[in-house]
Each structure stands twice: as C-alpha cells, then as structure tokens.
Amino acid sequence: MKRVGIIGTGSYVPEKVMTNFDIQKFLDTSDEWIYTRTGIKERRIADKDAATSDLCVEACNRAMEMAGVKPDDIDLVILGTITPDTHCPAGANWLEAKLKCRKAVSFDVTAACSGFIFCLHVAEKMIQAGANKMALVVAGEIMSRVVNWQERESCILWGDGAGAAIITETDKGAHILSTHIHTDGTGGETLLMPGGGSKTTPISHESVDKGLHFLKMIEANKSFKVAVNRFVEACEEAVKKNGYKIDDVDVIIPHQANLRIIQGMAKKLGTPMEKVYMTIEKYGNISSATVPIALDEAVRDGTITKGKLVLLTAFGGGLTWASSLIKW
C-alpha cells in the first residue's frame, strides 16, 4: 500500500467570542451551570455575512502554506460539514471556487461530528488507489445558525470554526497508519435536524414555527453512554490494527463534544487526561471541525512533534464514529 501522510494542517475560528456570561444575559442559566455540565467556558461565533466556506478558506490557506503547496497542486477537495453554504451546490464546490483549485474535484461528506475523520478515510483510500495525488481535507461548521438559542440544554454546546489538512503520498510528514469509520443508522434520531430534507419540504410557516430546522438532541443521557463506548471501541480498534496498545499513544485528540464524555472515555481506556488534547473550554463543540482544529493547534504549539503517535477519534449523529492512528 502507498504511504499516505499529512504534510500540512491549518485551522480558523472567528474572532467573536461568546462566553457563558453572555448567554446568561438572555437565558435562565449561569457560567457555573454550563461549565459543570459541559466543560465549556466560551465559543466562537461567525460574522452574520460569513458562510462556512469562508471559514474553510482561512483554514485551507494556512494548511497549504504549512505544506508549501499551491491551489493548482490540489486535485481533490473533501469537505466534512452539516452546515454547508447551500445544499446545492455542495459546500465543497463553493470552497473549491474560492480557493481557485482549478484541477480539483470537490464534494461534501455528511457524517456530523465524525466528518473530518470520514473525509480523511476517503482521501487516504483514493490516494492509495491512484485516483488522486493530493487532497485537501477540511471540516467546517457554522453551528450557531442551526441551533435554537432558547433551548438551554442544546444551544450552550455549539460554536463555529474550520480545520484542514493536506494529504498526499509521501515518504515525509505524518504517516496515516490507518483510518476506521462506522455508522449505525438506527440511532439517527438522537441527534437530528428534522427540517430541510425531502421529508419536510417545502419549508413552511408551520415547519419553522415548530422549530424543525433546528438541530435537536434527544435522550442526551443515553447518548452519553453510547458516545463513551463508541469512542473507546474506535480507539482500541485503531491501536490494535497497527500492533500498538493504548499506552503507546502519545496524544489523543477526541471530538470535543462534552468534557464529561471525554473524561469517561479516558477512564475506560485507562489513559491519563494529560494525554488528551483539549480545546472544548475555549471553543465548545464545532461538530466536524473540532478534531482538525485541535490537531492543527497541537501541531503548532509543539504538543505533537516528530515521532509521536497520535490518535484521532470522534462520535456523532448518524450515528457515526471513527478513528485514525497517525505516526508523526
């Protein structure tokens, strides 16, 4: 098999910060209530005129700069998102045009919070198959547009941002040892946006009044237990596939869903939280974008250095769960 690696990473979060104290001004909640239940102190909110592709452009440019490549070097653009600019054309099409990746084919992957690792999996396999040479894998979300800011249990979780990576066949850079993706469609209703699809079209006053176009979380306690188990399964699968143990992993970068879920994962894996890279306190849950944003920040701040074993893992709506083991 061809050796496929990551040669550049990039990320971007909007400048606007919304703290828990800002939220308590319009909701019956408090900084203590939110932080105790989620581990979140603040999140970033996109400008009203910004689209998801705009956030992705910033992250992609930073990834290309690190990798030393130009837009015309890219022949594949894969965008993981549940908040594209439009459903038609795909969000990746808008991104391709803005980046001027003239030689690239582009498409979206919809896998909720697992989106980046799903995109990574697709890019890795297409490069190994010889269909493409250099992929731009990106995940971006403007979650602040799809949540009901009057639903205390849900709206406090989400934020906006984007992360990206350049993937290619290479003897240098971070070696993607393996990627693993899974779904369970029978659990799809636990994280659901009921409106906007063929089941609830055309959009009507009634569907809007019922809040069908907002993201809804159902049976949060049940989802907590499932998430912890799936996180653990995904991690164990990746290390076992490559002949390692969890103790061999230097850095774990999980989807930043909820601090208590991540702590539950670490406890069940028997790994110290010191090995788990965290961004949830300052960014909240950015769905598909949390993993690549955290990955880029860990690379740039020196947490990830040459020779380290890095484990990415995610769980999200669908249900979806995924992992990737990378030798930096």
Among residues 113, 119, 155, 235, the one annotated as catalytic is: 113
In the residue annotation, 255 being an active-site residue is answered as yes
Among residues 56, 60, 93, 255, the one annotated as catalytic is: 255
Rounded CA separation 57/298 (Å):
20
Give me the residues paired with residue 91 across strands. Answer: none
* Residue appearing with tokens 């894998």: 137
In the residue annotation, 101 being an active-site residue is answered as no
Q: List, by residue number, the catalytic residues.
A: 113, 255, 285
